Amino acid sequence: MKSEWGALILAAGKGTRMKSATAKVMQPILCEPMLFYPLRTLSECEGVSIGVVVGYGKQEVSDYLTKEWPQVAIIEQKEQKGTGDAVKAGFHFWKDYKYMLVLPGDVPLITSESIKQLMRIHLLSDSSLSFISFKVADPAGYGRVIRSDCGIRIVEEKDATEDQLAINEVNSGIYAFSTAALERYINELRCKNVQGEYYLTDLVELFQQYKERVEVLSMDGEDEFLGVNDPLQLAYATNLLRDLLVKRWMEKGVKCADPETVRIGPRVDFEGEAYLAPYVQIFGETSVGDRCSIGSFSILKDSKLESGVSVHPHVVIESSVVRQNAIVGPFAYLRDETEIGPKSFAGKFVEIKHSKIGSGSKVPHLSYIGDATIGEDTNIGAGTITCNYDGKRKHPTKIGNRCFIGSDTMLVAPVELDDDATTGAGSVITQNVPMGALALARARQRNILGWKKRRENINNNDNGGRS
């Protein structure tokens, strides 16, 4: 017995108008590939299995799908001969379903509500083919929906007459098929058109010739069905999505001082009230806790902020966790699974990489902490560096609780400092420091008396005694 619904996303085209070596569906929108958006929409439609047809840039697209959407079937279209050929290439995928959706890969604003409505109409009307149309102020670039006493046709723009070009009802490229009918007629498509391609749109007329029912779902809101084909449309779609996402979170209590400058990605989650200053960007799988504050020009990606965190301006946080009531920045960089503990502080011009900073500890300024574990209530003086790389491998540094690391200390890993250890400013620490000890590792100071006067005499002699 066949399963109910499958869905095919057509993502094989090069997108020549994008003028990019990157496949069109991999162009970024709010730090996600364009392909992410129809994938997410279909994943919100319960019980729909998804396949993606790849072609141009297939390795990049396939790698993305394998990593981020392993449940999705990957189907190769060996030659890009049009949308009809792309659907034929997916036959071994969709033959196992009773009904199939077809979507372009370049419709990032399409919603699951519209897809579900198309599915309902298709079933209620007992149609063999259903598709979404919509009206636009400027129909340039779209296939026109031609209605007449003889039925309904879709004419692609390059094949349209002057009268047909004036029609403003256009095809969304989003279809629902009964696969039994599709299997009967898909091979009757011919490439008798300007582009020399197999048009999926030709099935609308072909189905009617064979007395199959075709249903059109006319919908409002042209932006939802926007197809992205060039950099201008890419920027327009990005701004539309940004507005939608920022508005959604502001309605739930997030405060934005200047909403038009804020960027929030589609996988970001806010757990309560938060304050975002102008020009904040939050992307990837990031979670922001209740009562957090994020300063201007800060960028967060794939990170977690627990409640009460304060992020000052010009901070970058990537793949890291900041615990309750911690403070970060300004001008700090946290990366590679760093964890900042509760009530800790990573301050001005500090970079912390793959390290754990314990509760109440401070790295206030001008330091690099890499591959390190720092205990609780420890203070790291200005200019401290963990020398974690020997040219071949990275090595760990461990600093205990209640330690005091003097300014400009170099910690040459691997090295461990036990609880309550102290280092003198300017020390180069190459050996472990016991509990409660003071470590000094610098040359003894020498004061050379009269050095300046002697230096002046030498300079005078070099100039022939002339002052």
Indicate which residue of 122, 312, 354, 365 is catalytic: 365
In sequence order, which ranges of 99-191 are alpha helices (DSSP H)? Answer: 112-124, 162-165, 179-185
218 to 12, 131, 171, 221: CA distances (angstroms): 27, 9, 9, 10
Give the dihedral of Cα atoms 85, 90, 91, 92; nearest 10 deg: 150
Told to judge if 312 belongs to the known catalytic residues of this protein, a careful annotator would answer no
For 241, list phi and psi in degrees, rounded to 5: -65, -40
Amino acid at 389: Y
Per-residue pLDDT of the chain (467 residues; tens, 9 = 90+): 456 999 999 999 888 999 999 999 999 999 999 999 999 999 999 999 999 999 999 999 999 999 999 999 999 999 889 999 999 999 999 999 999 999 999 999 999 999 999 999 999 999 999 999 999 989 888 899 999 888 899 998 888 898 899 999 999 999 999 999 999 999 999 887 777 789 999 999 999 999 999 999 999 989 999 999 999 999 999 999 999 999 999 999 999 999 999 999 999 999 999 999 999 999 999 999 999 999 999 999 999 999 999 999 999 999 999 999 999 999 999 999 999 999 999 999 999 999 999 999 999 999 999 999 999 999 999 999 999 999 999 999 999 999 999 999 999 999 999 999 999 999 999 999 999 999 999 888 888 899 888 888 887 777 655 54
- Copy the structure tokens of residue 450: 């009269």
The Cα–Cα gap between 198 and 53 comes to: 15
pLDDT of residue 238: 98
Helices (H), 284-439: none
